[in-house]
Structure 1
């Protein structure tokens, strides 16, 4: 039995999906940080730093609980996606559909103004962090953490050893910034739609990956 196809970024369609997922990641993290409570849904390195800072009493009140919630929820998303892809052999679009459904559920709850308490915000964080965990597992190329991506790109540029894929790499870095910027603007001008900024690009990636690829005949 063959291994399920993951996002590899080796063709324009896969790279387009990676750009969209990168934008979704930036949007989701910006929304959670601004609206849910000064933590991240997908950047676990940042959350670990926040957890260490909170041990010294630095940071917003209750941030440690939210960080732990995000870490556990993200890990659960990774575990579920690993099981679905390696054991159940579910196709990539199904896993993307689950991610989009989780993000959309959170967006609807936010838009209907049903998130009114700290407990509600923790529940919303669970939905989005699980979705980011799924996204983090289905990619072979990073779409929700970018330190290594930036390091590799800058190193290649410095050594003048750029390759053809570097324009797509730079595109993913721009996409995550753009996703975060769209969320921030939504929070400012249309707060009820802020969570939708992550749903739209994730749904776009699902659409791209759901269209059957043409196979050439030898």
Structure 2
């Protein structure tokens, strides 16, 4: 739920503040790339889309490498994601993004974090179209499962993350990028705290 909130927040922040593209929803970015290729998109969107796609792909590769090759615990991988999101929040909050190149860099950092997040769980937290499709299919067939309450919660969490980010952009623009980092940090704490309790 927390990672779903972070995903919605990150995508809303990047879309509103960085340049009308997504940090984690690569399907949307591919559509934007097609629109841009046909000459119907906003100026510069193709470069932003390619930046997001490459950074996201690097994040997925990094997450796969850390989990499969290095056998890092989920908490270590989450820590990397949180560090990237926090770095983006600091850069944004200190108003250090002053050029298009700076926006591309910020986009790359957040898309990298979302790529890592998309790889660290069996069901990627950015695959919400498939999640919604499966849920509606089960509702239509009357085959709801015990865990579907969590599925609905995840869908609501992504909306909540986007809504809180949009509100932050309107009321406290300098804090907008923090909204994604906070729930990701919460997910890290959820992962770490039970282990520490079991050690004692």
98, 111, 125: which one pairs with 2:107? 125
Deviates more, 1:55-64 or 1:111-120: 55-64
Alignment of 1:55-66 (within 5 A): 55-66=37-48
Distance 2:85 2:181 in 1: 6
The aligned counterpart of 2:177 is 195
Give the alignment's Cα RMSD to 1 decimal. Answer: 1.0
29, 43, 47: which one pairs with 2:25? 43
TM-superposed CA distance for 1:141, in Å, is: 1.7
Alignment of 1:4-153 (within 5 A): 19-153=1-135
Unaligned runs of 5+ in 2: none
Distance 1:65 1:107 in 2: 22
The aligned counterpart of 1:176 is 158
Distance 1:100 1:133 in 2: 12
TM-superposed CA distance for 1:124, in Å, is: 0.1
TM-superposed CA distance for 1:60, in Å, is: 1.5
Asked if the contact 1:142/1:149 (under 8 Å) is kept, the reply is no
Please give the TM-score of this superposition, normalised by the length of structure 2: 0.96
Distance 1:154 1:78 in 2: 28
TM-superposed CA distance for 1:142, in Å, is: 2.6
Unaligned runs of 5+ in 1: 1-18
Q: Which has the higher helix share?
A: 2
Deviates more, 1:134-143 or 1:170-179: 134-143
Please give the TM-score of this superposition, normalised by the length of structure 1: 0.89
How many residues in Structure 1 have an aligned counterpart in Structure 2?
197
Distance 1:25 1:35 in 2: 15
TM-superposed CA distance for 1:145, in Å, is: 2.1
Q: Which secondary structure does the structure 1 equivalent of 2:22 belong to?
A: coil
Q: Which secondary structure does the structure 2 equivalent of 1:32 belong to?
A: helix
Distance 1:212 1:104 in 2: 23
